[in-house]
Amino acid sequence: MNSLPVQVVLLIVWLGLGAYGTYMLLQKGYRVNNLKILAYYVAPVVAILYLIINQIQSIDTAWPANLPGSLINIALGIILLIVSPALVIAAFLLPGQKGLDAPARALQRDAFVRMRTRVLLIGAIFLALVLPLLALSLFKTAAPAELRYDGVISVIINGLFSGALFALIALGYTLVYGIVELINFAHGDVFMMGSLVGFTVITILLGAQSGRPVKADTSIFMVIIAIILALIISMAFCGLLNYLINRIAYKRLRNAPRLAPLISAIGVSFILQNIGLYLISSAPKGYPVLFPNSTRVANTDLVSDIIGNTDSLITIPVTGILVIVGVGILLIGLSYLINRTKIGKAMRAVAQNREAAALMGISIERTISFAFIIGGALAGAAGVIYGVYQVQGTVRYDLGFQNGLFAFTAAVLGGIGNVNGAVLGGLFIGLIYSLSQSSFFGLSASYVDLSIWAPVAVFGVLVLVMIFRPTGILGENVQEKV
């Protein structure tokens, strides 16, 4: 295989820099023994297995003969993300711990925890840049299409769009858990109700039909107004709905054993699903095509329809701009609310120590209710943005089940109760979800539906996180009070 020397050089450089960064961290006194084992022993073995399988197995090998190669490719991708050249940057930026007393070492550990997020983000950026370049050098124009340079970029873009939506839903989980330590399993169904409300508002205002383009004489200005009104109404409705759920189902169980509110949350989830089933039946509906292209079968694409590059595999629908702008504004607004406002400070105080916050004159119940309202409003906004972006099959009674679980996985991956962790976890889960449906790992669409691997990969990540790091990427171990 002509590409073998290129792969060997790239792997040696990448893993060599990661191992050197690990060595420097060890020399500076940081306890990274697990990282040492991964960088020194596991990574070389997996890389060698990857090269061997790539030599003996054809790239178009069909399922299930391609399973060993798929597993090795997935494992190598995870290792490349962790054992990254970003470790070298971290090793240079972080001061040494040798010769320091206990308080100074504690401060250095805190600095390392804060730096960890940046290290992972830099590693993800490196991987996102190197993977397309590697694909370009190995498969300039050859099949499979997903391994072309623009195909890789398209998969990454779709993953970031999906991840932003997962992050928006995950914020509702993490806000509630951070304050009352309750996993609100009904949150995904609040997201479903938000999507339904947005669908109703948009179809009524624009006179459009499910899954069909808007009328030809509908102005873009009217479409944008309809989307904004749908967002506002859906956020208000879902915020109120989440508030009522808290008042009716959770408030009386505040001091009950933890199992009681958890079962109550599952019950509320079933109630909302059956309400959705009653309102829209079991047949899925789709949001109208709000920005139809010349063929009026799909939303206008920035690359093919506006730029005119029809040969590129990169697709960026105009509705993707709504995802970036909408999610960005909501995240900035939430950050300002939590860090700059009086109620935000009250939320942080209650999350840190409820009893001490009550002694300082903070209304605990009012703060908890406000957290439920904000979480519900974010779920409502996510429901509308998701429907406008995905279009097909986005209004159905069980919409919140899978997406809610994905968002919950993102919250756990990032560190449940940590707002920044929810965003980081959402982006990671989005990329994993998108990559799992692509042909990067040699899964043949002729023999197995690629979409079935996305939930497997996402929940596999959840299992690994719960086993090796239950607190998540940005979570911290908290000692139980006795």
- Predicted confidence (pLDDT) per residue in 199-213, tens digit: 999 999 988 888 788
Predicted confidence (pLDDT) at residue 376 exceeds the cutoff of 90 = yes
* Residue 358 to residue 132: CA distance in whole angstroms: 53
Question: pLDDT tens digits, residue range 10-61?
Answer: 788 888 888 888 888 888 777 788 888 888 888 898 888 888 877 776 555 5
According to the model, what pLDDT value does residue 176 have?
Answer: 87
Does residue 242 fall inside a structural domain? yes
Does residue 304 fall inside a structural domain? yes
Does residue 462 fall inside a structural domain? no
According to the model, what pLDDT value does residue 443 have?
Answer: 46
Question: pLDDT tens digits, residue range 470-480?
Answer: 777 776 554 44
Predicted confidence (pLDDT) at residue 377 exceeds the cutoff of 90 = yes
How does the average pLDDT of the chain come out, rounded?
A: 79
Tell me which of 340 and 5 has the higher pLDDT: 340
Question: pLDDT tens digits, residue range 89-137?
Answer: 777 766 666 666 667 666 766 666 666 666 665 656 665 556 555 555 5
Residue 311 CB contacts under 8 Å (≥ 6 apart), including other chains: none
Does residue 442 fall inside a structural domain? no
Domain extent at residue 97: 4-138
DSSP 349-397: HHHH-HHHHHHTT--HHHHHHHHHHHHHHHHHHHHHHHHHHH-TT-B-T
Same domain, 98 and 163: no
Same domain, 296 and 395: yes
Predicted confidence (pLDDT) at residue 139 exceeds the cutoff of 80 = no
Share of the chain above pLDDT 90, in %: 15
pTM, two decimals, is: 0.72
Question: pLDDT tens digits, residue range 296-331?
Answer: 677 788 777 777 766 666 778 888 888 888 888 888
How many domains does the chain divide into?
2
* Residue 207 to residue 284: CA distance in whole angstroms: 19
Of the candidates 231, 212, 185, the residue with the CA atom closest to the CA atom of residue 285? 212
Question: pLDDT tens digits, residue range 281-298?
Answer: 888 888 888 888 777 677
Same domain, 130 and 197: no
According to the model, what pLDDT value does residue 370 have?
Answer: 92
Domain boundary among 378, 400, 422: 400
Same domain, 390 and 355: yes
Determine contact, residues 426/163, Cβ cutoff 8 Å.
yes
According to the model, what pLDDT value does residue 294 have?
Answer: 73
Predicted confidence (pLDDT) at residue 481 exceeds the cutoff of 50 = no
Same domain, 310 and 180: yes
Same domain, 174 and 130: no
According to the model, what pLDDT value does residue 183 have?
Answer: 84
Of the candidates 159, 160, 161, 183, the residue with the CA atom closest to the CA atom of residue 172? 183
* Residue 469 to residue 475: CA distance in whole angstroms: 9
According to the model, what pLDDT value does residue 142 have?
Answer: 47
According to the model, what pLDDT value does residue 61 have?
Answer: 56
Does residue 9 fall inside a structural domain? yes
According to the model, what pLDDT value does residue 184 have?
Answer: 87
Count of C-beta atoms within a 10 Å radius of residue 300: 17
DSSP-derived letter for residue 147 is: G
Same domain, 63 and 192: no
Question: pLDDT tens digits, residue range 405-455?
Answer: 888 888 888 888 788 888 888 888 888 888 777 765 544 444 445 556 677
According to the model, what pLDDT value does residue 95 have?
Answer: 66
Q: Strand, helix or coil at 213? A: strand
Same domain, 303 and 378: yes
Q: Strand, helix or coil at 208? A: coil
Same domain, 91 and 178: no
Same domain, 64 and 208: no
Predicted confidence (pLDDT) at residue 381 exceeds the cutoff of 90 = yes
According to the model, what pLDDT value does residue 480 have?
Answer: 41
Q: What is the 3-state secondary structure (H, E, C) of 280-336?
A: HCCCCECCCECCECCCCCCECEHHHHHHCCCCCCCCCEHHHHHHHHHHHHHHHHHHH
Predicted confidence (pLDDT) at residue 356 exceeds the cutoff of 50 = yes
* Residue 314 to residue 273: CA distance in whole angstroms: 36
Q: Strand, helix or coil at 123? A: helix
